[in-house]
Structure 1
């Protein structure tokens, strides 16, 4: 009986040891990395094109007496332009982004310049302008920013060669000049990672802007650059819509989690 008990004890011990040896160590599995949250903080550059409308409130006065001869009349025009610029944004939390930027515009937005007293008419062109300002945006989605902006602007307006209303030459012209003012606007900027296309750092923005420039007294001049005795008193209000391609240098938008 003792021999049987000892044999059973030995078998049980051997079976337990074998079972423990057969238990392999759990395989190590690396925890998934959390995909980084989109971050708009950083520098960016952009370039694009668009169209614009120009409005100008004008009145005629004598020179040098500056006696108003006409009531204010509004003239308008339209045209196209290109734009380039750069900026820097700060993302404060998951919702708000603020930034600073500067840009320049160049092209041909034309508007009518007219002297109804003498029967003169001509075209004046906004040849180029620049702007520097700030913007504040709200994230509609991690890679879609809706924003408003505003700031300081300057513009260069070209000279005008007048003709009669029938198109005949008058020999009267105006010189080009610069004006300063301010602007407000807004737009939407979104990542181009759409439709299954991977474009890290590339964005597109569409923006509306309204710019207001200081009033200018424009001298009507003869071929010898002498005054003909009349001035045009005018201000300028320009509205533009543009679409630009944007590149953000340190975009850390959402990526697929790695394992």
Structure 2
């Protein structure tokens, strides 16, 4: 288990009594949105559109693929992706399988990545083929010897990862014949379980990992819904990187609690 410093039992009881902690894992909210608003727009990525039902279906397939490749509770799945629809699907898949999501901003290079991926003991990482004319698969090839826990590098979008990497499509092919049944059979994550590992910038020292549980992230997002009086008719514009805490909340989580799309 990841080391945490939970509040006292008395304080945790207060959080639950006032509704701050709702004791539902994040994956439940995507399932609810897909059931209540299946055809509603959930994600706008350039000229691509995904409904809530499509996000749920794709995330279920990806969760089954993660499970079949040995990813489970407390395992870290990292992603160094720009703002693309696949980042939304991947985050939700990690929540479904009960693992720990580790978003990494795309500007990080060898020094930061060796530290973050090594300390997190990342099992699988998802990267772009090329982004802003930089070769991410080539960078990760140069890091593999220093990262003994890293099993797979998965390349999203254009570009090739070479023989040592899988494409997004190849990874999804390992989901099996009935991804929904595979995911349904998985144990539901404990809402107090760590589900997000997000590193600070490390401008004055090595990056430091901040930990969030399902309960704390749900509270943070419902506080924004309450503060700004948001509802399912609103559109969430997210210019922040989806690998920054603002983007994680506004793009990867908030729309699925709200039933509103992000773009």
TM-score when normalising by structure 2: 0.19
Structure with the larger helix share: 2
Larger radius of gyration: 1
Structure with the larger strand share: 1
TM-score when normalising by structure 1: 0.19
